[in-house]
Structure 1
Amino acid sequence: MLSLYQKYWRTAFDIALIVLTVWLIMFSFSYLYKIATPVFLSFLVFLCIEPLARRLHKLGIRKALASGISVLLFTAILLAALAGIGFMFYHQTSELVKKLPDYQVQVEAQIRAITAEVQQRSDSLPDGVADKLQSAAENIVKFGTKLATNLFNGTVGFVSSFSSFVLNFTIAIILAYFLSVEIDMWKRLAGERSPRTLKTAFTFLRENVFKGIGAYLKAQMKLISVTFLVILVALFALRVNNALTIALLAAFFDVLPLLGVSTLFIPWILYLFIVGQTGLAIWLSALLLVVTLTRQFLEPRITGQTVGVSAFTMLAFMVISLSFFGVAGLILAPILMILLKALYDQGYFHRWIRWPKEEFNVAPFMPAAAETTVPGGPTPTSTPPPPTGEARP
């Protein structure tokens, strides 16, 4: 055991130092996100309004006026979309919540009918067993109805009372406008007065991380859009009521880790089987299977090709980050994962982490691109040093 410690203590120390750095970044971001949410949202709004503002400025319009036009257009489109979708979602969800007690009565009546039929056809059941089964089934139905009611009420409450988010987003729009107007000044100050180490780190982030973040967001939007459209079209074809609300809920669950559309569809399908709507239940089961297989088929290709990080690694890191740091950790997890992947690809981990060389034929942290295949197995090649003047980010 002592020899194991002697061999790997340097490796363990280097890895622990990297893990501590990642944890400090996550902790700092989660703390800053809580106290300065509008500032972080303003960068997102800025990315949306700046292309149009820059285009109008090139056409000869003053930057302040161009940014104002872009902000007004962005706000108008956003408000129109939120108003339309929010009204339809709130109305349909409220109607669905009102009908939940009726659905409970239907399920309980169906259970009583099934229990009575079983009791008539089977004389082998002991006395009281049928009553206990019926009571247990009714308790399960009541629990499920209560859970569904709380879920939908929470969703309605979230849609109808998000005043804090509206306030933060309004401040973010104002900040994004001023940032768009002053962006040239900030770029000039950063170029003139930033240290070279910071410039090198920013160049690395821009070339290796920011592009990966954009690709990851585009990949997720593609997957969510496919899920939403497939479910919406299928529900319209099946003439299901509240199709838009169900499709939006499915898209929302599709974003969340470990949930997915199964969280919405499985209880629904079970309910339909219980109340005797077998045909619709089979069709929804087929729809769930199609959506699940489609996402499983597309996700590795879309996400893997654009980001280069496996879906399992990304999802596992997001779940851990969500558990430790909440929403802020969920937001930052893809960014950090893409950064770590870029550091690995550029060979930084290979230079930063020491390992007992006699234990490995190939260095464990050497990027795959730095290996050459020879008849006897892969042989590591020397990783080129960073360019002159480059600092480790």
Structure 2
Amino acid sequence: MGLKADYRPLVYLGLAIAVVSIVIAIVLKYLLPFAVGMLIALMIDPIVNRIELKLKISRGIVVILVLSAIFSALGYLIILAISRLTFELGKLINILPSYTDFLSAILSDIGSFMFSIYDIIPKTVLDYLLKNWGQIISYLTGFLSNFYTFLVEKLGLIPNILVFLIFTFLSSYFFAKDKKRIMISIRKILPHNFYKKLENIQLELLISFVGLIKAQITLVMISTLITIAGFYILKVDYALTLGIICGVLDVLPIFGPSIIFIPWAVFSAIVGNIKFAIALIALYLVVVGCRQVLQAKVIGTHLGLDPIVALISIYVGIKIFGFLGLFIGPLVVVIVRAVIQSGLIPPLVNRT
């Protein structure tokens, strides 16, 4: 019996991780607008309380004003980013074919450059590139065209995005407006001890969620500063503005700043500015590399996790949930830690 008792905390821990992961997966698939609405309600609660006490107006009106400001700014930025990206890609695709003649004119210069590095690149590769240059341009144009078509098709998701935003807005409104009534109802349903433990978990999760946001902001700021510095070194026009844009894009899943760097580098290479294209790719690799190196350390510091634990949680999260695992992995660890600290499951080590 004693041997089984020693393994009981590990069993509880495994069950807690499994249950939390399953719950998060269900929430992401079916209840995401309500989960996001609850988080928004918790985050704006201090602001709503302060305005309500200072201006002496209805809490519902204050919540509507705060949420309207947040969602209006967010919606404007999203629509602006999508519209601008679609316009720039369309413009790039339209002008690419016109550069075919120009590329033929500078082909000899590119060939000379390639043969100058003959010792590095095999002759068969160089011959293939020279003979199939037109096909390479056609493939590149087709790739960008397909990517552009993909983005345009994704614009068809706008109705779904609008539905998501509407339900998120409504849920955050009701959670923020009726917070006290909801908490009183929960308190009446649950036993006092269990409710107190849930309060502790709620506080821990709120602190951890804020820490996760701070960690992402820190990573974005680091990426932005590196990008701006790199653009100034490369003497790029509007280095500050472009650096800020690339830094903000760093929070986007899958694409990130690559939607700026990669097309720009490809276009520079096509028009013959090979050195600048290589420099852009090098800068992009530096930005991505620094983020990957610092990610576990920064997230671990802001969430109070050991860097190796944060790194493992990020890796496993990405393997299970994809890109979202970058956030979900550490979140699972934080939730399980909060559950253990609340006393809902026994700790792994008995300190008595």
TM-score, normalising length: structure 1: 0.66
Q: Which residue of 1 aligns with 2:201?
A: 205
1:213–1:338 Cα contact (<8 Å) kept: no
What are the equivalent positions in structure 2 for 1:330-341 lying under 5 Å apart?
331-341=327-337
Equivalent residue of 1:309, what SS?
A: coil
Q: Which residue of 2 aligns with 1:74?
A: 70
Distance in 2 (alpha carbons) for counterparts of 1:307 and 1:282: 37
2:190 aligned residue (194, 207, 224) = 194
Q: Which one has a bigger Cα radius of gyration?
A: 1
1:93–1:156 Cα contact (<8 Å) kept: no
Deviation of 1:350 after TM superposition, in Å, equals: 11
Deviation of 1:50 after TM superposition, in Å, equals: 3.1
Distance in 2 (alpha carbons) for counterparts of 1:128 and 1:89: 38
Q: Which residue of 2 aligns with 1:151?
A: 147
2:235 aligned residue (229, 233, 238) = 238
Q: Which residue of 2 aligns with 1:23?
A: 18
What are the equivalent positions in structure 2 for 1:97-246 lying under 5 Å apart?
97-102=93-98, 114-115=110-111, 132-135=128-131, 142-158=138-154, 161-228=157-224, 230-231=226-227, 235=231, 238-239=235-236
Q: Which moved more, 1:161-170 or 1:245-254?
A: 245-254
The residue type equivalent to 1:24 in the other structure is V
% identical aligned pairs? 18
What are the equivalent positions in structure 2 for 1:252-291 lying under 5 Å apart?
252-253=249-250, 256=253, 265=261, 269=265, 272=268, 275-281=271-277, 283-284=279-280, 287-288=283-284, 291=287
Q: Which residue of 1 aligns with 2:41?
A: 46
The residue type equivalent to 1:238 in the other structure is K
1:34 aligned residue (17, 29, 35) = 29
Change (3 A) 1:334 1:148: farther
Unpaired runs of 5+ residues, structure 1, are: 1-7, 354-365, 367-381, 385-393
Distance in 1 (alpha carbons) for counterparts of 2:212 and 2:179: 25
2:92 aligned residue (89, 96, 113) = 96
Distance in 1 (alpha carbons) for counterparts of 2:37 and 2:48: 15
The answer to whether residue 55 in structure 2 is matched with residue 55 in structure 1 is no
Deviation of 1:185 after TM superposition, in Å, equals: 0.7
Residue correspondences, number:
346
Change (3 A) 1:71 1:288: closer
> What's the Cα RMSD here?
4.7
1:92–1:245 Cα contact (<8 Å) kept: no
Q: Which residue of 2 aligns with 1:3?
A: none
Distance in 1 (alpha carbons) for counterparts of 2:113 and 2:89: 35
The residue type equivalent to 1:189 in the other structure is S
Distance in 2 (alpha carbons) for counterparts of 1:179 and 1:129: 62
Distance in 2 (alpha carbons) for counterparts of 1:18 and 1:104: 62
- Could you give the per-residue CA deviations for residues 16-64 of structure 1, whole angstroms, max 9, x where no partner exists? 6633442333223323432233212322332454333222221211222
Equivalent residue of 1:176, what SS?
A: helix
Distance in 1 (alpha carbons) for counterparts of 2:181 and 2:345: 38
Change (3 A) 1:329 1:117: closer
Distance in 2 (alpha carbons) for counterparts of 1:68 and 1:140: 54
Change (3 A) 1:222 1:314: same
Equivalent residue of 2:227, what SS?
A: helix
Unpaired runs of 5+ residues, structure 2, are: none
Distance in 1 (alpha carbons) for counterparts of 2:31 and 2:288: 37
TM-score, normalising length: structure 2: 0.73
2:197–2:342 Cα contact (<8 Å) kept: no
